[in-house]
Amino acid sequence: MYKGEQKHKLGRREFLGAVGSASSVGVLAASEGRGGRTQKAEDSKKTTRIGLIGCGGRGTALGEIIERVKAEGEPVEITAVCDVYRPRLERAAARWSAKPYAKSVELIQDANVDAVIVATPDRLHAFQTIEAARARKDVYCEKPLTHWRQPEKLTEMVEAVKGSGIVFQIGAQRLSDKTWKEAAQIIQSGGIGKPVHVQMGYCIHGVRGDTGMPIDDPKAQAGPSLNWEAFLADAPPSPFSASRFFRWRMYMDYAGGPCTDNNVHFLILIIRTLGLTFPKNVVALGGIYVYGDGEREVPDTFDMIAQYPQDLSFTFVGTYCNDHVMETAIRGTDATLTLPSPETVVARIEPEAGSTKGARALGNWDVGHDHMLDFVRCVRTREKPIGDIDLAYHTQILLNMAMHSFVERKVVSFDLASHQITLS
């Protein structure tokens, strides 16, 4: 049992209804076998009206992508914005000539909003997605799906999305990388034989993604212009702190460090590429090796190994203390697919001795733009987007298992029969 909380448990019938059977969630189904609610023909050319929830750095960047997509001819626009910090809200409302809301539920209930972008801290994702699903509003939700200490909310979120029939896209933009789509097709067609081992890493120098987050106003205070209680959601109570509010990725109550912030972009690629679902066992180690400043709680170095039921091991290593690149390798019984780094635009098949398979270079991409475009078009066509709720859920279970292993210093297991996460 998780320390201080219940096991993540979902009955088999509810589980299959919420996420689909394992046989239905392969990589090709995720990328090509799309389907959803039927959209009336007369509605297919109407402008999709977007509500932007969370107007900080990431939300603003996504708003800018909407601007690009609109300029290219897509019928889409931002009509409403929401943030718990009034200065950000006012800036966003002025920039997009959008209606401002201090509460996300009020934005979601606006009849002039068709779909929402959720770009808030991790703990708020589930609450806002559930509200949107109940209102039948489509959702583009930033990764990760939820905070790693919200197993019950995660289940509720998945059930709400699946039960509503909305279009849901997880904001892990590298899923729209054409390189990985081609790699998936090669692997699924048997191009490297049976996959047995994966190595991947993400190494950078510096913690600009958390400690480096800007503090808009060091003198900011909780009150009418900053809704601290809304920010906390179901997090443990804490006195207001400008650092905790503006640099929330530094703290375990609101984030998880490399695993849930950067690494998730690449973990989800492997899960989709290999058609994986739930790990059998996960172990993770790491810590604060360099960037201990007295306030930082999340690790700057995080390594994990996941064992999957398909007799496959997946090793992911990473640090913010050194930027030496680690090659990505997906090893099969017949050949190895390699990429110089997780962010590369070129992949190669390197045959094992005696193989007749040749090397092959793969594609290119504009991931942020393409991922948002996929969502906007699916809202219009009612197709299933590339980062659907099933893929997001399978990835979140891996993140949860890794984070609990790291915190508890134990091996974490997922029991397919009982659908429980346990620590041993």
The predicted structure's pLDDT at residue 181: 85
CA–CA separation, 185 and 205 (whole Å): 33
Taking Cα atoms as reference points, which of 153, 227, 179, 127 lies closest to residue 346? Answer: 179
Peptide bond before residue 144 is cis, with ω within 30 degrees of 0: yes
Q: pLDDT digit string (tens) for 139-150? A: 999 999 999 999
Residue 243 burial (CB count, 10 A): 15
Average pLDDT over all residues of the chain: 87
At position 367, the amino acid (one-letter code) is V
Residue 279 has pLDDT above 60, yes or no: yes
Could you read off the pLDDT of 39-94 as tens digits, one per residue? 544 456 799 999 999 999 999 999 999 999 999 999 999 999 999 999 999 999 99
**CA 218/CA 231 separation, integer angstroms:** 17
List 312's β-bridge partners, or say none: 308
Task: Select the more confidently predicted residue: 3 or 200.
Answer: 200
Q: How far apart are CA 163 and CA 332, in angstroms?
A: 38
Taking alpha carbons only, the member of 259, 262, 257, 323 closest to residue 296 is: 257
- Delimit the domains of the chain by residue range: 21-175+371-388
- How many angstroms separate the Cα of 400 from the Cα of each of 147, 154, 382, 393? 8, 10, 30, 10
Q: Which fold has domain 21-175+371-388?
A: Rossmann fold (3.40.50)
Q: Which of 299, 25, 273, 258 is nearest to 143 (CA)?
A: 258
Weakest-pLDDT range from 21-30, 66-75, 164-173, 399-408: 21-30
Strands 115-118 and 138-142: parallel
